[in-house]
Structure 1
Amino acid sequence: MGEVRKLQKKLRQIENLEIRVSLTPEERVKVSKKAELRSRLAELLLQLSGPQQTQCIVGEQEDKMKRQVEDVTEHRTGPTPAVKIPRVDDQKKGERERSSGQTHNIPDRPSPPDPDSEFRSLKASWETAKFRLRVLEGHSDIITCVAAVDNLVISGSRDTTVKVWHVPTATEQRNLGGHSGGVTCLSVPPAEYCRRLASALRLGEKERLVLSGSTDCCVRMWTLSSGQCVKSIYTFNAVTSLCFIAEGEGYIATGSDGGKLQVWDWLSQENRQSVNAHLDAVTALQSQGPLVFSGSADGSMCVWEARDGGPEPLRRLQSWGSEVTGCGGGEEVGGRLRLSARGDRIFLACGRASIRVLNWRTGTVSRLTNHSSTAGVTDCVNQIPGVLIGSCFDLTTGESSLNLFSLPQSRYLVSLTCSELPRILCFAAWLTPSGGHRWVTGGRDLTVWEQLQGNVKKRGDVTVRRDNRLDNTLTESDKEEEEEQSDAEEEEEEDSIPQDASDTEAAANSSWLRCALQ
Structure 2
Amino acid sequence: MDELIDRCETNQVKHMMQLIEPQFQRDFISLLPKEVLMGHDGHVITCLQVSGDLIVSGSDDNTLKVWSAVTGQCVRTLLGHTGGVWCSQMSVATVISGSTDRTLRVWNAESGECVHTLYGHTSTVRCMHLHGNRVVSGSRDTTLRVWDVVTGQCVHVLTGHVAAVRCVQYDGRRVVSGGYDYMVKIWDPETQTCLHTLEGHTNRVYSLQFDGVYVVSGSLDTSIRVWDVETGGCVHKLTGHQSLTSGMELRDNLLVSGNADSTVRVWDVRTGQCLHTLQGPNRHQSAVTCLQFCRGLVLSSSDDGTVKLWDLRTGAWIRDLVSLQSQGSGGVVWRIRASDTRLVCAAGSRNGTEETKLLLLDFEPEERGGDE
TM-score (norm 2): 0.68
Q: Match of 1:475?
A: none
Select 1:226's aligned residue among 111, 123, 137: 111
Shift of 1:413: 3.5
> Is 1:179 matched up with 2:90?
no
User: Which structure has more strand as a fraction of its residues?
Assistant: 2
Q: Per the alignment, do residues 354 and 168 of structure 1 end up closer, same or farther by CA in structure 2, a change over 3 Å counting?
A: same
Q: Distance in 2 between matches of 1:406 and 1:152?
A: 28
Q: Tell me the CA shift for residue 176 of structure 1.
A: 1.3
Percent sequence identity is 21
**Higher percent of residues as helix:** 1
Q: CA deviation at 1:256?
A: 1.7
Aligned position for 2:225: none
Query: Would you say how many aligned residue pairs link Structure 1 and Structure 2?
Result: 310
Q: Deviations over 1:303-359 (max 9, x none)?
A: 74767xx313875586662689674269xx998823323243443334221235566
User: Residues 376 and 285 (structure 1 numbering): CA distance in 2 closer, same or farther, change over 3 Å?
Assistant: same
Conserved 8 A contact 2:129-2:169: yes
Hey, what does 2:306 align to over in structure 1? 401
After superposition, the C-alpha distances for 1:363-396 in whole angstroms (9 at most, x for unaligned) are 66676324656842101112333332111333xx
Alignment of 1:61-100 (within 5 A): none
| Structure 2 Cα separation of the partners of residues 277 and 363 of structure 1 | 28
1:388-444 CA distances to partner (integer Å, 9 max, x unpaired)?
Answer: 2111333xxxxx22222344775543332234263111122234xxxx324232444
Retained in 2: the 8 A contact 1:220–1:231? Answer: yes
* Structure 2 counterpart of 1:385: 295
Q: Match for residue 157 of structure 2?
A: 273
Q: How does 1:419-438 map to 2 (within 5 A)?
A: 419-420=324-325, 422-431=331-340, 436-438=341-343
Q: Counterpart of 1:107?
A: none
Distance in 2, matches of 1:267 and 1:213, equals 16
Amino acid at match of 2:38: L
Paired residue type of 2:307: L
Name the aligned partner's letter for residue 414 of structure 1.
Answer: R
Extract unaligned runs of 5+ from structure 1.
1-112, 192-207, 395-399, 458-518
Equivalent-residue separation in structure 1 for 2:57 and 2:187 (angstroms):
29
The aligned counterpart of 2:260 is 351
For 1:495-506, what aligned pairs fall within 5 Å after superposition?
Answer: none
Residue 339 of structure 2 aligns to a residue in which SS? strand
RMSD across aligned positions (CA) = 3.9
Change beyond 3 A, Cα 1:439–1:377: same
Work out whether residues 102 and 125 of structure 2, in 8 Å CA contact, stay in contact via their aligned partners in 1: yes
Please tell me whether residue 157 in structure 1 is matched to residue 59 in structure 2. yes
In the TM superposition, what are the counterparts of 1:463-474 in structure 2 within 5 Å? Answer: none
| Aligned equivalents of 1:122, 1:152: Cα separation in 2 | 23
Pair 1:439 & 2:344 matched:
yes
* SS of equivalent residue, structure 1 residue 236: coil
**Distance across 2 between alignment mates of 1:301 and 1:133:** 42
The structure-2 alpha-carbon separation of the partners of 1:178 and 1:381, relative to structure 1 and needing over 3 Å to count, comes to same
Alignment of 1:187-198 (within 5 A): 187-189=89-91, 191=92
Q: For the residues of structure 2 that align with 1:160 and 1:211, how far apart are their CA atoms?
A: 14
Aligned AA (1:451): D
Counterparts of residues 94-133 of structure 1 (less than 5 Å): 116=18, 123-133=25-35
- Of 127, 144, 147, the residue aligned with 1:264 is 147
Q: 2:254, 2:163 → 1: CA distance?
A: 23
Verify: 1:239 aligned to 2:125, yes or no: yes
Maintained 8 Å contact 2:54/2:66: yes
Aligned partner of 1:209: which letter? T
Q: Deviations over 1:446-485 (max 9, x none)?
A: 323222435589xxxxxxxxxxxxxxxxxxxxxxxxxxxx
- Aligned partner letter, 1:142: V
Q: After TM superposition, list the pairs within 5 Å mapping 1:321-360 onto structure 2.
A: 321=201, 327-328=219-220, 337-357=246-266
Tell me, yes or no, if the aligned pair for 1:285 and 1:292 is still in contact at 8 Å: yes
Query: Quick check: 1:295–1:338 contact (8 Å CA) kept in 2?
Result: no
